[in-house]
Chains A and B, each alone.
Chain A
Amino acid sequence: MTTFYGLPGAEAFWHWTTLVHFLLVALAGGTAFYTAVLGIRRAASARGLAWLALAFIVLDLFMLWAESPARFRFSHVWLFLSFEPASAIWWGAWGLATSALMLLLLALGLGPARFWAGVLALTSAVVLAYPGYALAANAARPLWDHLLLAFFPASGLLLALAVLVWLRPAEEAAPWLQVAALASLALAALYPVALASGGADARLAFALWLRGWGWFLLGGGLLFLAAFLARRAPALAGACALAGAFVLRSWIVEQGQHSFFVHGF
């Protein structure tokens, strides 16, 4: 039996608002990346989309600030006054800020558009990548496996494509959606394998995953449907992809943060 006098800091530290941010940042990064790819090919075709990506970034940055208990202390300025390259969130802050700038230049048609699109491809890739890095960096949280370094960018791009497939000519976005859905599905299927074959916490990590396998069945099923329907019924495929990727990402973020140290393994 374990009892405590006093309180370890083992409560959940990220809340539903954080899950919304994990969704918004994927929409922002994925849309920006798609804009960059279009823009590199033909700059003019990316202008409308640039506004949408910019809107997602603004929405996400607002959400990040609004949900932060530090919001009225205005300490966020330090994100841009420090050099912390080992911190995923620092990369995210700069990735979002520079992507926003590139998108604004693209949207307004100022300067060398294809060059901006090239820069945007890099900065938006950072935005897609940093949430997975922010999770995987924590050796103390067994569910936040290194595989998330790949799963979060893939599913993030998928989330953006799920929205784009409604807004863009479907024949343009649908093949991308299919590829992203298949990649996310493959990574989601590998996830429990990666957990079970991890380090010292492998048994624990897999046992934890088993508690949530139903969510993976649901999320994985939706991703499969998205890939299957991508070319046949793109709008429906988009809805499946959005729901599936959101369920899987949210489960991983939400469940992975619980302290197994305090509750025992």
Chain B
Amino acid sequence: MARYAMLIDLAACVGCAACAAACVLENEVPPGHGRLWIRQRELGAFPDVTVEYRPEQCLHCERPPCVPVCPTGASHQTEDGLVLVRAERCIACAACIAACPYDARFMNPAGYVDKCTFCEHRLARGEDPACVETCPTGCRVFGDLDDPESPLHAWLAEAERVDVLRPEMGTAPKLLYLNTPSKRGLANHESEVES
């Protein structure tokens, strides 16, 4: 049993979207949809300007609101802390899309809800998720929070700050952002953008 998590060091992310492209290829994401995308935000006003490149995807929350709302058990959390969809059970009611505070889910045209899986098929082979493997700046790391050997812990220890998206939702995300460029942390609200 593991508690899988991903870290993205935003101080190093350049928003190249290589991770997003790798995800599309690896998981055959249907055109017009995304399991992973990059949000780019300009923060502050000249001469004090910051750009936040923020890759977003399913955060595999520890308390995922998308799981209890599912009427068929299709949306579930594994023992390793992955939040996954059993396509064969999904009735495409979109209750989980409604519950997700992060827009991480979409309706696959094949008739079921789809999302980032942390590349569980690759994890089963002992490989990293495709986005982690591809990232040219090496700003992503994947591992098991319960494993003291995991590089996650060194990254967390060295980080100047650690943020999660919409912490007020109480979801306890396991996608953590390190070293957010703005002193104010992640730009959660458009109104915080002062450009």
Contacts and interface: CB of A to CB of B under 8 A. Distances in A.
B32 A7 contact: yes
- Interface size of B as a range: 35 or more
A181 to B, nearest CB: 29
Nearest to B88: A75
Interface string A58-92: 00000000001111110110110110101111101
Contacts of A71: 111
A25 to B, nearest CB: 13
A88 B94 CA distance: 12
A263 interface: yes
A45 interface: no
What does DSSP make chain B's interface, helix, strand, loop or mixed? loop
Given A9-B97, A139-B101, A68 B92 contact: yes
Interface stretch (A166-174, A244-252, A254-262): A254-262
B91 A78 contact: yes
A1 B74 contact: no
A263 B71 contact: no
* Residue among B65, B70, B191 with the highest chain A CB neighbour number at 10 A: B70
Contacts, number: 157
A10 B103 contact: yes
Interface residues of A, number: 49
A87 B105 CA distance: 18
Interface string A228-246: 0000000000000000000
A75 to B, nearest CB: 5
A89 B99 CA distance: 13
Nearest to A15: B94
Interface stretch (B36-44, B134-142, B144-152, B156-164): B36-44
A140 interface: yes
Nearest to A259: B103
B169 interface: yes
Contact of A4 (B40, B69, B101): B40
A13 B94 contact: yes
19 contacts: A2-B41, A2-B193, A5-B15, A13-B98, A70-B91, A70-B112, A72-B111, A75-B72, A78-B72, A82-B71, A82-B72, A82-B89, A137-B99, A138-B98, A140-B65, A140-B99, A140-B101, A140-B169, A261-B101
Interface of B: 15, 17, 20, 32-34, 36-42, 56, 65, 68-74, 88-95, 97-107, 109, 111-112, 115, 166, 168-170, 189-191, 193, 195
Interface of A: 1-11, 13-14, 68-73, 75-76, 78-79, 81-82, 84, 86-90, 92-93, 134-135, 137-141, 199-200, 257, 259, 261-265
